[in-house]
Amino acid sequence: MPNAHDAVKAYFDALVARDAETLIAMMLPAAHYVKIGTDADEIVEGEEGIAAYYRNHVASTEDFSITFINLDVQERGNVTWFYTCQVWKLKWQGAAEEFVMRMTGVLEKIDESWKFAQIHASIGVPAS
């Protein structure tokens, strides 16, 4: 069983690899699951939308790389939370993009596996 830090890293590895099935398996299948993305309508509440969200996400990306600026993972019993700041480079729906991504999340340990219960993402605003 991976520790919480390894589970969080595995999430980002699966994003870069465009591995929707791994991403889906890492999410907590529960009514209280929440994924909030950077687009105005990018929100998944509950387990019903998880598979469609991640399949669409990986189908919409190409040439994806993530460089970590920082990653802090705090594990306490059966709950973990994380914060990361990263540089994302990718083609999103055909257009090349590079930006700073800030993410936080909460994981729950279920049957000795870490599952993402909540993820929130925002794009950093460059200093002027």
Q: Which residue has the higher pLDDT, 124 or 59?
A: 59
Q: Write out pLDDT tens, residues 8-40.
A: 999 999 999 999 999 999 999 999 999 999 988
| Residue 101: how many other CB atoms lie within 10 Å | 17
- Is 24 part of a structural domain of the chain? yes
Domain limits for position 11: 4-123
Q: Write out pLDDT tens, residues 32-82.
A: 999 999 988 999 999 999 999 999 999 999 999 999 999 999 999 999 999
Residue type at 95 in one-letter notation: A
The C-alpha angle 3, 83, 44, rounded to 5 degrees, equals: 90
- Is 51 part of a structural domain of the chain? yes
96-117 average pLDDT score: 95
Split into its structural domains, the chain has a count of 1
- Is 113 part of a structural domain of the chain? yes
- Is 59 part of a structural domain of the chain? yes
Q: What is the CATH number of the domain that holds 9?
A: 3.10.450.50
Residue type at 28 in one-letter notation: L
- Is 66 part of a structural domain of the chain? yes
- Is 128 part of a structural domain of the chain? no
